[in-house]
Structure formats: structure tokens, C-alpha cells
Amino acid sequence: MENPIEKSLTELVISRIKAENPRSQEILVALVRHLHGFIRDVEPTEAEWRTAIDFLTRTGQTCDDKRQEFILFSDVLGVSMLVDAINHRAQSDSTATTVTGPFHALARFYESGDTIARGKEAERGEPTVVSGSVLDSNGQPLKNATLDVWQSDDIGYYDVQDVNQPEMNLRGVFKTNEAGEFWFRTIKPAAYPIPTDGPVGELLRASGRHAMRPAHIHFWIKAPGYKDLITHLFVAGDKYLDSDAVFGVKDSLILDFEKKANAADARKWNVSTPFYHVHFDFKLESK
């Protein structure tokens, strides 16, 4: 038999919410309504409720200044990409967006053409040139736009996951020139598993899901008067493009990393042969 509290509790909790800010009111009321709905659907045992509390507690405890387990949690549930989709509904000519992910860090500025690969990664990885432009939605170049770039190494680790990598390896910030162009050198990124040694890893295993993300380079592009563009460039041919653990792949962001062996090309870009070259023009949406 239904306990009378089951019927009345949701409305009672909602009746106590008297937020000053109307948006806070809307969010808090919806939170209680949906959370109570979820509990009514699932009817957890008290042991299951404790498991959930323990999961959330450990998710928080796993976060520090280098690791963001809550973003990972949001990513693997598709919440990050749903927020992204809701916030970028308008069909425009601007470049498609995708998740920020948990590995962004504040990197230093580099000069155009510099390499962001250092240490063993620079010796071992496959040299790669990334070039392109930052444009407005009409195709006009944007000078002095900043491109904040970060990526995994050739075996799929970010600097923050790997004590053997130099700090801030494979990340850097570049500026576009007068013609809106940029270029930099790096190594070809590899597919990688998102961290599976914490609560989110347990969640994936319990769900029968793999943890892999297809190889990509992250970009966070800013220009005054334009909306920030947070996106990736994915390496065409990667076997995980159809099953990204965080649902972040969009077709327009999959690019050929063209293999080149021509010595004149290599001299032009200041790399050794063979090397990979990927070129992309980013389009920003005005504010």
C-alpha cells in the first residue's frame, strides 16, 4: 500500500522553495520534481540509496586541481553534449561545437609555428602541422583571435595524467595574424580511454561500455565580439569515431590528417618527413 507521504512529499518540498531569483526558483522546482520522479520510477532500496550517496561522495573526492570527475560523469551520461546541443540550436555557418572535457588547463602563449610537443613525446610522436584560419560567419578573417589548444600524446595520455611528461606538454595558446591565420607544430594525437580508475570507470564497467575516445585535438577559440568556440578536430579513420565514450563526435569535425613525405613541404613547415598536415578554417558566431 502506498504510504501517504509518497503522494504529498513532492508538493510539500516544492512549496518550501522561495528563491529570490526566478531562474533559481525554476531550476530548483524542476530538480525536485524530476528527482522525485526518478526515485518513484526506480524505487531504490536503502542500500541502493547509500550506494548512490557513496558514488557521488567519491566522485567529489576524486576531483582536484588536475582531475574533474564530475565533468567526466556529465560527459559519459551524455549530459555535456545535451547542454551543448541546447545551447547551439541555431543553424548557422559557424563551426560545430563539442565538449570541453576534463583536461583543459591554462597554458602559455606561443609564437606562430612553435611546437607544443616536448620531452619524449616530441622525439617519439609523429610530427604534425596544424594550420588554418579563424573567420567570422561571413568568411572574413579575424585577426588576434586566440586559439587555446590541448591534446593527448601519441599513446593517449594528457600531461596531467602522466608524471613522466613535462608539465603543460601538448598545450598552448596561439594568436591569429593580420590575415586571421594560425599554424603550429605538434604530434599526432592518439585515441585514449577516459580515466577509469575512479567512480566514472565503475559506472562504465557496470553499464557494459568501453571508455575510449577517438583521437582529437581540443580548441577553445576566443575573439572579441564573438561567442567562444569550444570544439575538437578528430582524426579521420579512427576506429572509435562511432562509439565515443562521451558522445562528442560530429561529422563536420572529422578531418584527414594528410601524410606527407615531400622535403620542400617539410622545409616550409619546419618539420622532418614524413609528417601529417591538417588544415581547418574555424568560423565563429557573432555575439
Interface residues with Fe ion (CB under 5 A) are 101
- Do 200 and 135 contact (CB within 8 A), yes or no? no
**CB closer to Fe ion out of 180 and 195:** 195
Q: Which three cell numbers stand for residue 77?
A: 551520461
- H or E, element range at 15: helix 4-15
Taking the least distance from each CB to Fe ion, the nearer of 59 and 98 is 98
Distance of closest approach, residue 129 Cβ to Fe ion, in angstroms: 20
At position 282, the amino acid (one-letter code) is: F
Nearer to Fe ion, 129 or 149 (CB): 149
Which residue carries 602522466 as its cell? Answer: 162
Rounded to a whole number of angstroms, the minimum distance from the CB of residue 218 to Fe ion is 6
Question: C-beta of 46: minimal distance to Fe ion in Å?
Answer: 38
CB-based contact 213:72 (threshold 8 Å): no
What does each C-alpha distance from 41 to 7, 14, 34, 38, 66 come to in angstroms? 14, 19, 10, 5, 36
Q: Nearer to Fe ion by C-beta: 101 or 180?
A: 101
Question: How far apart, in whole angstroms, are the C-alpha atoms of residue 226 and residue 230?
Answer: 12
CB of 219 to Fe ion, least distance (A): 11
Q: Which residue is nearest to Fe ion (CB)?
A: 101
Q: By C-beta, is 101 or 198 nearer to Fe ion?
A: 101
The least CB distance from residue 99 to Fe ion, in Å, is 8
